[in-house]
Amino acid sequence: MQSLVLLVLGGLLALLGGVGATTIQNHADRRRERDKARLELVGAVSMVMTELQANKANMSVRIADKDWYGRATCFDSAYRQVALLLAAQLPEDTKEALFQAYEPLRSPTALYNVDRVDTGIVGMITERVQLDEDEAKAQLENLKRAVELAYRDRGMLRDKYPLPGATWPQPSSDSPGRVKYLPQLVLRAFGSRNEQ
């Protein structure tokens, strides 16, 4: 009888150990998946921020140079790749700002005055495309707002979900959209002058 009790007790302990190990493993797997999803979201926001910065720079140069002829160089491939992820996880104001920043860039006529000119040759029509100054300036403001909100959201993600060993580039004080990568990399590689 005593051996039967010991056998049942051993079986129960083995069963409890298996259930406990499975529970711990499931919890670790869920945590890994959450960390992976968080990293993917932060990466998506970073990709879109970089693309927005390029579009903002291109539009700023066109406005500063008063270069109104031809289409502006604009990028949207990073946004198209991660649009569903961002739409599912970012706040409404950021989603709206991203839409307002990208939608006119993707439209063939939203920022432009397009004149179709008949060349006189049958079936040959050319287009003269001119960037509308007011629309370009309004679009530049949309791009600036989207960049600011993307920085805010990436900062909130960083603060809410700190990851061990993760480093985050910080915007410089002179421009909220500019990140000082090079000085950080140089200091990491060669150390500061005070250490010498």
Amino acid at 5: V
Considering only residues 153 and 159, tell me which one the structure prediction assigns the higher pLDDT.
Answer: 153
pLDDT at res. 16: 84
pLDDT at res. 163: 56
Residues 6+ apart with CB under 8 A from 141: none
pLDDT at res. 180: 43
Residue 155 has pLDDT above 90, yes or no: no
Amino acid at 173: S
Residues 6+ apart with CB under 8 A from 163: 35, 38, 39
Q: What is the mean pLDDT of the chain?
A: 78
Section 111-122 average pLDDT: 78
**Residue 44 DSSP code:** H
Of the candidates 42, 59, 189, the one whose C-alpha atom is nearest the C-alpha of residue 131 is 59
b/e burial code for range 152-190 (CB count within 10 A of at least 16 → b): ebbeebbeeeeeeeeeeeebeeeeebebeeeeeeeeeee
Across 31-45, 84-98, 107-121, the highest mean pLDDT is recorded for 84-98
Per-residue pLDDT of 172-185, as tens digits, reads 455 444 444 434 44
Considering only residues 15 and 193, tell me which one the structure prediction assigns the higher pLDDT.
Answer: 15
Q: Quick check: 111 and 104 in contact, CB under 8 A?
A: yes
Residue-range domain boundaries for the chain: 17-168
Section 82-92 average pLDDT: 89
Residue 42 tokens read as 């932060």
Q: Quick check: 101 and 144 in contact, CB under 8 A?
A: no
